[in-house]
Structure 1
Amino acid sequence: MGRRVSGSSESRFSAYVAGLVGVIGHADRAQPLRDYCTGLIMPGERKSVEPMAAVTAPARVAAQHQSLLHFVGEGHWSDEQVLAKVREMVLPRIGQHGPIEAWIIDDTSFPKKGRHSVGVARQYCGRLGKEDNCQVAVSLSIANHHASLPVAYRLYLPQEWTNDSERLRKAGVPDDIGFKTKHEIALDQIRAACAAGLPRGIVLMDAGYGNHSDLRASLTRLELSYVAGILSNTTVWAPGTGPLPPKPYVPGRGRPTKQLRRDAEHQPINVKDLALSLPAKAWRTITWREGTNVSLKSRFARVRIRIARRDFNRSEPWPEEWLLIEWPKGEKEPTKYWLSSLPADIGFARLVDLAKLRWRIERDYQELKQEVGLGHFEGRRWRGFHHHATLCIAAYGFLISERETIPPSATRSAGLLPPAVLSDGYRPRGSALAA
């Protein structure tokens, strides 16, 4: 599993958990907190409660199982306060490698069978690439090129859940939680981050969020710039074009109109058609990151445009923005499109670099799931789902802080703590020997 690192990592882990104990509440939660975080960062294929009980207290697995189960499933401690403390401890370590550059909106999904686990419904599951029974959670991460950290995380409840009061009650969903779309949840998280005074960054989002013009407009009102993925059928006004001004008012012929107009010669164009119409000289090959073995590069074009969405109900055109387009060499047509409210004088390579920085959230989720078991929670209720996720983020935050101390040959979680010794009689639930 990799080499042991020095014992100083253990002492730093103890200090880190002690910081969390300060906001977790009662003193009797301190040991379950330490044990749960320990179980999350120790090597192991499964980070649900029972196997973590086995590795953190091998001599008393049953009692430990009950202790951890109660702590994560029933404990009345605040996810928000714990995440705030994680930010306080981890952001300075991230900031040693440069200022925060981005706030990244995204969601992640967990395939789940049955209908009683909170939030489970037939919906699009990114992990499977199709619709299936799953849970979906929306998150906000703050990032620079060195690392990123989730600072907000909330389960999305489909309307079939929020319309079923008995189902909500059985799953322990708080009374004040009603239906919200994913982009509404994301906007709530953004507003909370602004209110908390977190270091601001450019908001990055894929087309699942970026295609919502109301969300983009809300970010502008919060004085946040964005680089937002959009769909190829999004309509815009190409450079040098735009809607017609309102009709001139003729006295005595009704009330004056203030709406912009279109006619047969003044029509917007979708971004795919605009991209295909660009001359060859508009395209540049830009490298945005050094990959594991090769440089990551592609062909891009950018143009100043105005969005066209329902501007016939407006008296002024939408402000100018950047349209960024990616068309990899060898592809038949462009593959990605972004809108950006970043200044007109931003460098081309810098714009591409920020658009591509969203890869950090993919790394977040990969490591949260593979290293610390974000998707391994087996409970059914709202509180347990969020408590487990909060503690996974806390454990992940510690691993981020320790990044420079882990040898390249070690896995991220291996070697930070002494290996557990299981009792001879322990058998995982469901194993043939246990049966």
Structure 2
Amino acid sequence: MTASLGHADRAAPFRSYTAGLLLPGARKSVEPMAARVEPGRVQAAHQSLHHFVAKADWSDDALLAAVRTHVLPIIEQRGPIRGWIIDDTGIPKKGTHSVGVARQYCGQLGKQDNCQVAVTLSLAADHASLPVAHRLYLPQPWADDLARRAKAGVPDDVAFQTKPQIALAQIRAAIEAGVPTATVLTDAGYGVDTAFRDGITQLGLAYVVGIQTSTSLWPPGAEPLPPKPWSGRGRPASLIRRDPEHTPVPAKALAMSLPKRAWRRVTWREGSNTTLAGRFAAVRVRPANRDYNRPTPRPEEWLLVEWPKGEPEPTKYWLSTLSPTTTRRAMVDQAKLRWRIERDYQDLKQELGLGHYEGRGWRGFHHHATLCIATYGFLIAERGAFPPSDGFWPPSLKAPALPDDYRPRGAPDPA
């Protein structure tokens, strides 16, 4: 992987930084890692690692490509890539100066709070997954603030993009790089965006995406009315239409109206304690969002709905462009593959310190994330050398002892 960094003198700090991410410790920011990696020369190591992550002009894309080239063949030895998982992850932050920080939804906290949010693309097989793209979401107030952009080092060509737009760009780049294609999987935060779904289809990929209960759909066998017949005057009408007696319905209402025979129990995988199973219905529908601006109805897709036993109503909804011949079990298996992204985030944050970077700049934020992903890829590759086992992760590593006189910056003088 070091060959992708551009200069030979970056190899040593690269190895030190990734070693620091691997070693145990409560914080994986630069100074604590420098103290663990080189306890005899903490200040010099701190300067070297800080320059490498915050200042050095190496390419995140080049290193991520090297990680992908090294790790994907190892993952594919045990099974094909089955899903491209789009998601975003929040990193809680205080203050207003860290690049991209704003009050927005933070998944880690489960609520609106001050945080940074990054959009990611992961490639998932049944047994492992690897993030291959990681990009900070820059809220519009940040994107429009020239002074804050300049101070944080945001590149001039970075304009405001929504999260689905960032995700589509990541998907497009992965296709151009020749990454093995698979079904795109997202939660409802992306699945409700019609332009995002259309973009995936235009790129030639199928999807299984979460949607909200309020998403409007044409029920099985129904579709919009044809354009009005031409009256003989003016231009002929070209847009499909609705009327008060002929309208789409919310996904929840459609699901609740399905007969009992539409629901079947489906098992999708073995969990840590029990077999994971639930009740699902799958019907062919047409998405209806703003279709009155179209000359033809949208193509049919699958609506997949989960209604756990004991719940008063269905809890999860998906739209999918998988083949009309796809079995219900195969569709459920595909939709549920999204659990792998939660494992990625858990390991990247809890084991490798993805959210621990303390710098404020654009370059440092992305360099730190790329180095975390490189370290994660290394561990996936190491794990691939062992027979399948639940006991390999996390690695049991020991940090070297700190010198007796070591004190972090800002600590009070013992005297």
Q: TM-score, normalised by structure 1?
A: 0.92
Query: 1:187-235 CA distances to partner (integer Å, 9 max, x unpaired)?
Result: 1101000111100010000000010010100111111000010010001
SS in 1 for 2:334: helix
1:382 corresponds to 2:362: yes
CA contact (8 A) 1:119 1:156 kept: yes
| 2:126 counterpart residue number | 145
1:26 corresponds to 2:16: no
* 1:63 alignment partner, one of 32, 44, 51: 44
| 1:234 counterpart residue number | 215
CA contact (8 A) 2:217 2:250 kept: yes
CA contact (8 A) 1:399 1:412 kept: no
CA contact (8 A) 1:43 1:413 kept: no
* 1:133 alignment partner, one of 114, 117, 132: 114
Distance 1:35 1:256 in 2: 70
SS in 2 for 1:250: coil
1:219 corresponds to 2:188: no
* 1:337 alignment partner, one of 317, 336, 343: 317
Query: 1:388-408 CA distances to partner (integer Å, 9 max, x unpaired)?
Result: 000000000011112254975
| 2:375 counterpart residue number | 395
- One-letter identity of the residue aligned with 2:272: T
1:248 corresponds to 2:229: yes
| 1:17 counterpart residue number | none
CA contact (8 A) 1:371 1:413 kept: no
Deviation of the 1:432 alpha carbon? 5.9
1:232-381 equivalences in 2 (<5 Å) = 232-251=213-232, 253-381=233-361
Query: 1:74-96 CA distances to partner (integer Å, 9 max, x unpaired)?
Result: 01100000000000000011101
| 2:70 counterpart residue number | 89
* 1:424 alignment partner, one of 374, 380, 404: 404
1:177-196 equivalences in 2 (<5 Å) = 177-196=158-177
SS in 1 for 2:326: coil
- One-letter identity of the residue aligned with 2:61: E
Q: Which stretch of structure 1 is more off in the superposition, 387-396 or 295-304?
A: 295-304
CA contact (8 A) 2:278 2:309 kept: yes
Distance 1:430 1:377 in 2: 17
| 2:394 counterpart residue number | 412
Distance 2:157 2:226 in 1: 45
* 1:35 alignment partner, one of 8, 16, 20: 16
Q: Which stretch of structure 1 is more off in the superposition, 156-165 or 199-208?
A: 156-165
- One-letter identity of the residue aligned with 1:284: R
- One-letter identity of the residue aligned with 1:333: E
Deviation of the 1:292 alpha carbon? 0.6
Distance 1:420 1:120 in 2: 35
Consecutive unaligned residues of structure 2, counting only runs of 5 or more, are: none
Do the aligned partners of residues 265 and 130 (structure 1) sit closer, same or farther apart at CA in structure 2, a change above 3 Å counting?
Answer: same
Distance 2:236 2:121 in 1: 45
* 1:162 alignment partner, one of 133, 143, 159: 143
Distance 1:56 1:381 in 2: 24
CA contact (8 A) 2:383 2:392 kept: no
CA contact (8 A) 2:200 2:207 kept: yes
Distance 1:216 1:408 in 2: 36
- One-letter identity of the residue aligned with 2:39: P
CA contact (8 A) 1:101 1:144 kept: yes
Deviation of the 1:429 alpha carbon? 4.1
SS in 1 for 2:165: helix
* 1:124 alignment partner, one of 95, 105, 123: 105
- One-letter identity of the residue aligned with 1:173: V
Deviation of the 1:413 alpha carbon? 3.0
Distance 1:434 1:396 in 2: 38
CA contact (8 A) 1:427 1:434 kept: no
Do the aligned partners of residues 53 and 338 (structure 1) sit closer, same or farther apart at CA in structure 2, a change above 3 Å counting?
Answer: same
- One-letter identity of the residue aligned with 1:114: G
1:96-107 equivalences in 2 (<5 Å) = 96-107=77-88
| 1:7 counterpart residue number | none
Query: 1:369-425 CA distances to partner (integer Å, 9 max, x unpaired)?
Result: 01110000000100000000000000000111122549755642323xx64232222
Distance 1:410 1:199 in 2: 27
Distance 2:395 2:371 in 1: 15
| 1:5 counterpart residue number | none
Distance 2:318 2:409 in 1: 48
Query: 1:241-298 CA distances to partner (integer Å, 9 max, x unpaired)?
Result: 11111122232x2210111121222111111000000111111111111001101111
1:115 corresponds to 2:91: no
Consecutive unaligned residues of structure 1, counting only runs of 5 or more, are: 1-19
Do the aligned partners of residues 91 and 256 (structure 1) sit closer, same or farther apart at CA in structure 2, a change above 3 Å counting?
Answer: same
Query: 1:301-345 CA distances to partner (integer Å, 9 max, x unpaired)?
Result: 010000111111111110000000011111111111000000000
Do the aligned partners of residues 419 and 131 (structure 1) sit closer, same or farther apart at CA in structure 2, a change above 3 Å counting?
Answer: closer
Query: 1:87-124 CA distances to partner (integer Å, 9 max, x unpaired)?
Result: 00000111011111110000000110000011111111
Distance 1:200 1:216 in 2: 16
SS in 1 for 2:201: helix
Distance 1:367 1:23 in 2: 24
Distance 1:135 1:376 in 2: 12
